[in-house]
Every structure is written in structure tokens, then in C-alpha cells.
Amino acid sequence: MSKIIFDHVCKTFEGGLRVLNGVSLKIEAGESHIILGQSGCGKSVLLKSLLGLLQITSGDILVDGISVKDKKCRQKYLRKFSILFQGNALFDSMTIIENVIFGANQVNSDKAKCRKIAEEKLLAVGLEKRVFDLYPAEISGGMQKRAALARAIAVEPEILLFDEPTSGLDPITGGVICNLLNDTIKSLGVTALTITHDLKVAEFLADRVSVLNKGNIAWTGKAQDMETCGNEFVENFHRASNVISRKSGR
């Protein structure tokens, strides 16, 4: 069975705005899947629906066969996920290591063990000991991203969700972070779902890419096949992304 199944998912907001219009997609265990699409096409709505933060209007979402609508299995369902938010969402009043201990503490109650796990995770994402006791505001955006990743993996998730993982980073740091995410996904063997409008992220991270347009999946396939996939919207999206990246020197 697929790890995540979106089964004809529809989401209409009050007032009648239909953002998701029958999204069907299967994501396999251990796969790194990217959902790519223009700003406003419904990527975040899809991610929030997966986490049950938004209630879908019809259809279903299943994770290991558990429905997002099954209230009795809510905790078991949510425990499978960890999310790296766009803005990192580190706690400003906690040091870097305290932030990661907070993550480890979600699944482990032994204080000393949590500290050891936090140290391991911070080193694994390439942060040096000298930053462990600093506050988020005292480190760079790239380092904050690493710290947020360390906290996300300290929860020992089965599924990692990345929301625009390179936003706010310069192209070089963005590339470094993409490589780190890739190494992390592969070394942990987790299933990863990333939402982004950045083609470069898709090319770096994806085993498969799905393009979301007008409330539906327009195409699913390998990033390198996008350019010649035969779907007009997908090919145009690919072309436009490359023009933008050439103009911005990426």
C-alpha cells in the first residue's frame, strides 16, 4: 500500500472558492515527492489538509491506511509527521539545543537521553558545538534552517514535510540546504513531501514531481522529463522557471 494516498480530495472554502478539485495522488514509502505549482494554486491548502489543519470538503487522505478524518486514530496519524515550516518556527526564547531537545522530548521522556539525541542531530545537520547555546536570532538563516531540520528529525518521523525549504535563502545556501535535505531523507529512509514553486528545489530533491494547477494534479513524473512531457501548462511552467533563474543568475 502507498504511504500517502490523496483520493479525489476537494476543498471549497466558505464563499465558494474551490481550491482543490479532486486531487488524487499516491506517494510511496521512502519516496521524495515534490508538489510544484504557482503561487496561490493550493499547495499550502493541500499540506494543511494532509495534517488535518483544514477539513476537506470531500474525498479522503490516507496515511498507512489511516484516514485523516478518523478522529480515534488522530494521535497515531499525526505522530508519523514532522514538518519543516517555511519560516523555520524555532522558539525565539530557547537556545538552539533547547529547541532540538523540545523535539526529542516529544518521543522521549528521559532528559539526559533527549540532550544526547539533540547533540547528535545538530552535529548531523552540520552545526558546530559553538552554536548550541546561542539563540535563533544570533545565527544565520541557513543555520536556523539546519537547526529547524535537527528539531524536525529529533521527533523520529516516518514522513518529513518541507514547506518552501529554500525560501529566504540566497541561491548558494539554498543549494547547500537542498543537498542536506536530500542526504537526510536518504540516510533516514523517510518518506518526504515538499511543496515549492521553485523548480531548482524539485530538480535537487525529487524522485517524482507532481504539478498542481487549477485545483488538480496536472502531471506527475521525473523532474528531468517535465520539459518535454506534452502537458502545455507543465512545459510553460518549466520554461518560465528557467528564464527566471537565468535572469537572477542561478
Ligand X SMILES: Nc1ncnc2c1ncn2[C@@H]1O[C@H](COP(=O)(O)OP(=O)(O)OP(=O)(O)O)[C@@H](O)[C@H]1O
Closest CA to 58 of 48, 66, 68: 68
Element (H, E) at 154: helix 141-154
Position 146 contacts ligand X (CB under 6 A) = no
Q: Supply the DSSP string of 40-86, one letter for each residue.
A: TSSHHHHHHHHTTSS--SEEEEEETTEETT-GGGHHHHHHTEEEE-T
| Amino acid at position 83, single letter | I
Position 67 contacts Mg ion (CB under 5 A) = no
Task: Return d(Cα 185, Cα 32) in angstroms, integer.
Answer: 8
| Amino acid at position 227, single letter | E
Among 23, 25, 37, 52, binds ligand X (CB under 6 A): 37
Residues 69-128 that bind ligand X (CB under 6 A): none
Residues 179-208 that bind ligand X (CB under 6 A): 197
Give me the least distance between CB of 45 and ligand X, in Å please: 4
Give me the least distance between CB of 211 and ligand X, in Å please: 12
Binding mask 1-40 for Mg ion (x = CB under 5 A): ----------------------------------------
Give me the least distance between CB of 222 and ligand X, in Å please: 22
Position 45 contacts ligand X (CB under 6 A) = yes
CB of 123 or CB of 244, closer to ligand X: 244
Buried b (16+ CB within 10 A) or exposed e, 67-90: ebeeeeeeeebeebbbbbebebeb
Binding residues for Mg ion, rule: CB under 5 A, are 43-44
Binding residues for ligand X, rule: CB under 6 A, are 13, 17, 19, 37, 39-45, 197
